[in-house]
Amino acid sequence: MRGVLYVSHGSRVPEAVAEATTFIESVKTRVDVPLQETCFLELVEPTLSQGFQRLVERGATEISVVPVLLLSAGHYFKDIPAEIKENQQRFPNVAVSYGKPLGVQRRLTEILKDRIEETQATVQSDAKILIVGRGSRNPQTQRDLTEIQQQLCDMLDMSNIEVCYLAACSPAFEGKLQDAVNEQPSQIFIVPYLWFTGILDQHIISEAGRYKDEPSDIILCERLGHHLNLQLALRDRVIETFDDIDQTVKLNS
């Protein structure tokens, strides 16, 4: 019997955990599998091992481990595979498949366009747009955000769009925002490429608030959140794993 284990990041912020849990529950209704569990990589329970064991106890003989991650980085390449390997050793008779992060998809970049439009601010010709990513030491993250930047430039037919990061790589969000303020465009749109609320989201809000008295209009867009395109994208990642049993062995070899 097949089971699906959704692996979310985890957060010290209770609202972030609740947001992630609610989102995953909405995706579960789109997946025709009776055994589905949610777990977290860190800070809160259930852990990946606890979620894996619950599925086994409920009768799962094949488990799809699906990372609830936007982009490929350390958690995807190292942390989750290490825990999967440990659980494969505990339950050697359970076949495992390992899904992919959502990655770069045009339908996800369209969410950024939607979030800008939802502000109801008319984008001026001199506007600056900052896409704010989490950041990672893995170079794939920067390549992915650059591709997302290019897609958004095409969608909005404008070039003054830059990417910055909250941690682990550069350019840093704080410096890019200061640079943008110094340029004094009529508008600065801050567009978080973050899924749920949390400490990083709160930091963006705090930094944006520091410039409320500047000549530029600082417009903070909503994070990606519960957008339908995200629900469908994660559902598709789940379904992809159903014909990919024991992909974790290939990943870890």
User: Which tens digits make up the pLDDT trace of 136-156?
Assistant: 988 999 999 999 999 999 999
d(CA 80, CA 40): 10
Which residue ranges form the domains of the chain, and what is each CATH number? 2-102+227-252 (3.40.50.1400), 106-220 (3.40.50.1400)
Residue 49 has pLDDT above 90, yes or no: yes
Mean of the per-residue pLDDT values for the chain?
93
Close Cβ partners of 122 (under 8 Å, ≥ 6 residues apart): none
Whole-number pLDDT of residue 244: 65
Helix, strand or coil, per DSSP, at residue 135? coil
Q: Which tens digits make up the pLDDT trace of 209-251?
A: 999 899 999 999 999 999 999 999 999 999 999 986 544 444 4
Taking the C-alpha atoms of residue 146 and residue 143, their distance in angstroms, rounded to an integer, is 5
Q: What is the pLDDT of residue 104?
A: 97
Neighbours of 13 (CB within 10 A): 17
Query: In this model, does residue 97 exceed pLDDT 60?
Result: yes
Confidence grade of residue 28 (pLDDT, cut at 50, 70, 90): very high
Confidence of residue 73 (pLDDT cuts 50, 70, 90): confident
What is the tens place of the pLDDT at every residue in 111-130? 999 999 999 999 999 999 99
pLDDT at 109: 98
What 3-state DSSP class applies to 61? Answer: coil
Per DSSP, what are the bridge partners of residue 189? Answer: 129, 219
| 68-82, 117-131, 186-200, range with the lowest pLDDT | 68-82
3-state secondary structure of 92: coil
How far is the CA of 3 from the CAs of 38, 64, 207, 242, in angstroms? 11, 6, 42, 10
CA dist 70 → 5, 59, 86, 141 (Å): 16, 30, 24, 10
Burial class (CB in 10 A: 0-12, 13-18, 19+), 77: middle
Residue 252's pLDDT band (cuts 50, 70, 90): very low
What mean pLDDT comes out for the span 81-106?
96
46 or 247, higher pLDDT: 46
Above 90 in pLDDT, residue 8?
yes
